[in-house]
Amino acid sequence: MSENEDLREEMRKAVADFLRAESDRRAAMDGDDGYDRALFRRGVADLGLGGLPVPERFGGLGLGFAEAAVVIEEFGRAVAPSPLPDTLIAGTLLGESANVGSLGEPGVALLERLAEEPVAIAVAGLTETPGRGPVVAAGGGLSGVVGAVPHGAAADVLLVISGEGDDAAVHLVSPEQPGVTRTPRRALDHTRRLADVELAGARADRLSPEGDGGALARRLIALARIALAAESAAAAQACLDETVGYLKVREQFGRAIGSFQALKHRCADLAVAVHGAVATAQYAVRFAATGEATDELGDDLATVAAVAKVVGADTLMRVAADCLQLHGGVGFTFEHDLHLYFKRGKANQLLAGSGPALRRQLAARL
């Protein structure tokens, strides 16, 4: 293993141990914010997770998206209610911009905050809202409504995408100002609360360089989709691992039900699907981390990200649904955690572009 691979494996173990010891997702789901602020603070203070993608000259660890994805995977494996994945995506984008010299003072100030204190960032504008147009930037302010923003009601900072296509841009918005209204909405996924964010001339700091042709916004969307793919694949693996363990100890007719051939074959099919999702997500993470415009097959990052997101979310949904059935009646109870993975899978299918929408986009490129 290379030095970077060793580092990522050490990070994976540290984050997994931290979540096992500290995370109480049931209590966090029922809390006012929908996530455990104390856990978020400990993750930043004890493990330095908030500053992971922040360049060293701003006080961070100076690591990249490949390392951030490891953390995102483990939070997905645990279906942990936390804004940290979106915070890491935002931090990665800011860090990359700083490294090429295109980040202004507001972005630099946020990087320095991420390195020093817990700052929850929500990314707004990834998911299309039927009947609503894009956020409009005019006169230094933003106006429009962004629906279904993960952890949007409790975030300390909003990263907002305005416009579309070549006119798309990324902005920093403080939610604690006149002109920003956040309305919590009912969400299927209890571990990831959603909010509608209404902007009425809200003050914003533009992060996208003038004339970048929407490149920064496309990069943000791609990173978000790959992050969803990574957490979905890890969650699917966790579902399958738990189910295989259950089938080994649950007995019927005097033997473990996992010894029945029909269930063995079903688990084997799920294992093949999970391995495919993991490989697809890992490929997308590696490609995004290189910063190259195209891969060896000539595909751009947007294409790779869309494929990974669709494969990951659909696999989690399939695996969680089958694992519910393999558990029998106990799998359908609220007390069992399988329904959390099932709901996360459905939410991931819809966030940052639905499966049908992304498939249409991919088909149009053929």
* CA 130 – CA 186 distance, rounded (Å): 17
The CATH number assigned to the domain with range 124-206 reads 2.40.110.10
Q: What is the pLDDT of residue 141?
A: 95
In the chain, where are the structural domains located?
A: 3-119, 124-206, 215-364
Q: What is the pLDDT of residue 130?
A: 58
Q: What is the pLDDT of residue 325?
A: 94
Residue matched to tokens 């060896």:
296
Q: What is the pLDDT of residue 299?
A: 79
When the candidates are 1.10.10.60, 1.10.540.10, 1.10.3720.10, 3.40.50.2300, the CATH number that belongs to 3-119 is 1.10.540.10
Fold of 215-364: Butyryl-CoA Dehydrogenase, subunit A; domain 3 (1.20.140)
SS3 for the chain is CCHHHHHHHHHHHHHHHHHHHHCCHHHHHHCCCCCCHHHHHHHHHHHCCCCCCCCHHHCCCCCCHHHHHHHHHHHHHCCCCCCHHHHHHHHHHHHHHHHCCCCCHHHHHHHHHHHHCCCCEEEECCCCCCCCCCEEEECCEEEEEEEEEECCCCCCEEEEEECCHHHCEEEEECCCCCCEEEEEECCCCCCCCEEEEEEEEEECEECCCCCCCCHHHHHHHHHHHHHHHHHHHHHHHHHHHHHHHHHHHCEECCEEHHHCHHHHHHHHHHHHHHHHHHHHHHHHHHHHHHCCCECCCCCEHHHHHHHHHHHHHHHHHHHHHHHHHHCHHHHHCCCCCHHHHHHHHHHHHHCCCCHHHHHHHHHHCC
Q: What is the pLDDT of residue 150?
A: 96
Q: What is the pLDDT of residue 33?
A: 84
Please list the ranges in the chain whose pLDDT falls under 70: 1, 129-132, 297-298
Q: What is the pLDDT of residue 1?
A: 58
